[in-house]
Structure 1
Amino acid sequence: MMTKIVTDTDGFLKLREDWEKLTKIDPDATYYSTFEFNYTWWLTFGQDPGKELFIVCHYRDRELVAIAPLMIRQIDKKIAKCNVLCFLGKGDYFSFITDSSRFKSSILMKELFRTIEQHSSKWDKIELTHLQMDTKLLRYLLRHDRYSQYTEYLTSCSRINRDGFDSYEQFEKEMVDTKMKHKRIKLLRETGYRFRCVSGGQTRDIYEQIAQVHQLEKKYLLEMKGRKERRSLFEDRGMERFLRRLFEDNDHILLFYLESGDGEIIIYKCCYLYQGVLYGWNTGYSPKFSHYHGISDVLLMEMIRSLFEDDRADQIDFGAGTYPWKFRWTNQFSVSYTFAMWNESSRQSRLLRMLVRYRELLRAVKQIRNAH
């Protein structure tokens, strides 16, 4: 039995074969768990001096059986700096990767956390977010005498399961109302749209097209609607480099879109495809077609129809967030949690917690004053 911590990019790359083997046999693994996603993310953002790899690997008989894909992120709080131990990457689902087919998952989790605690001098706080219910990691945290008190509800993630319906016709009958059907008929009549699906490995041009659409949508919402909160992933240099790397020759990336008769993208939705699940992560529409209400509904209808026709996937995952539009499409969802625990033995941690409590007190006093 042996546990080691990988802290350099070369060591990270050497894990590829074993990492990919583990994700294939771990039922809790999502696309956000894959080596491909995490390594691409690290190559893009890992050069930041405020980030340090901290991948915990547990071995049995020299065979890798558990991975905690973590890093240490330094946050500058002005008065003090905080070292936060967190997951690599950014996404809707995260977990530790384990071989629970041969080993008891609770024992593997215990070994990973023992190593984390043994290196507590490296971190001031652990912050593990987007822990999906019914996963081995969340069960371990909730059952733990100490860790359970730091584990709280975060959000929900809605899903459409193809297995819940015999056919698309049944799905449409139960879940699609007359208004949605009329939207599709009108859009088809006036634009002659075509439904398309391509992978990152099929075309290089499509990335440029969706980046332009997304940025035009952001500009339109700001200038015409006054919506300053809208951001474009493709305007962030780091994220743009990450997505471009991830897109290249990657058949795990699927782009669904409606194309007008003139060949323009009306609306698109990007997804990660992994083990039969489509994980939605980005969508955008052309301002030119903004006067058509419900174009996102039309795209979803076409996407869901394609699930039944081409057997590409079993589920569409809408990602994190409790929004009414998601529940108009499904009554099935999972719950995600977050685990946040301060390092009790760290002097820096005690100072930071004192600052947090002081800030909360000031906020409470301000609210009382405003109320009067």
Structure 2
Amino acid sequence: MTKAITLAVTGDLVLDEPDPGYWLAEIAPVLQEADLAIGHLEVPHTVSAEQLEGDVPAPGAPLENLDALARAGFDMVSLAGNHMADCGAQGIADTIAELDRLGIGHAGAGADLSRARTPAVAEAKGRRVALLSYNCVGPQAGWAKERSAGCAYLPLDTRDGAPVAPMSEIVGVPATVAEMLAEDIAEARKVADFVIVALHKGKVHTPSFVAPYEREVARLAVDGGADAVVSHHAHIVRGIEFHRGRPIFHGLGNGCVVTRALSPDQDNAARREWATRRRELFGFEPDPAYYLAPFHPEAVNAFIGTLALGDGPPRAAIVPVHVEAPGRPVLAAGPRARAIADYLEKITRDAGLPPIAVNDKGRVEAVS
């Protein structure tokens, strides 16, 4: 029997602040202990000042901050999200060039759609893991085309037929989605032993909720041959389910988000207006102590997901993480770790997903 390889998976990464290594330092040991670590890079790292229309634009983060990801232990990142194209084609090109220089694999964005759909591949213990990455929430202006840069995406149906945008109500999953996933996963399987699919999906800043389309798309990825599905975008963790014995992380929350771009106290009018609307739309007032991570109060309950990939079905677990003010993730222990595990069990039930149990070592299993 071949020894299993371990993966650590995190949600959104936004490193706008100076000394990015400091913000990652407390979770880095878990990433470094795993055979491979995967995160989701939320914003471009670039000097480009271009601003994409179609969503509240994120500013480009410092290019040099990407070095902290390599030092923290990240081997691959997914890029297909609603902000990766915010600084245009140059923002994507700058980000990819620096990731390549650092030896961090990437999937989900590129100079054209073909390259955006190409998997990242990393090797550990003689076995190869492929990562595919898709944007499910728009904005469509940031999606890659045959001859233009952007993100890989899954073409979902909105209620009003309008272009997909982060606040759209998504009501349908066309048959082409299953076909795309099966095609890309089959191609990835030619060069890898395991395939992980990353989905940027869901409704932001809302505890527990998992929309029907989210479950359908994630299950289609498993049906198409994925060994596990990981998700992000909501900036708060979501439940875990198993389909055909394969784990689906419906929301990894924030891996590490430290930015002033979400504050109402700034020069950019669109971002300032969104900070006000966010309170009105989602009904919470961020704790002022979390000025670098002004999210829902429950977003302090976080975790790093882990996967053991071997000859049998993947094994899933969590490493509980507490987000301390003003936004730094730290490993949780003792009663705090148990409280986060209990929270994950609760939000899984509240979302209408099949119940799970998280033991005191973090192992996650379906409850029969």
Structure 1-normalised TM-score? 0.26
Larger radius of gyration: 1
Structure 2-normalised TM-score? 0.26
Higher relative contact order (Cα pairs below 8 Å, separated by 6+ residues): 1
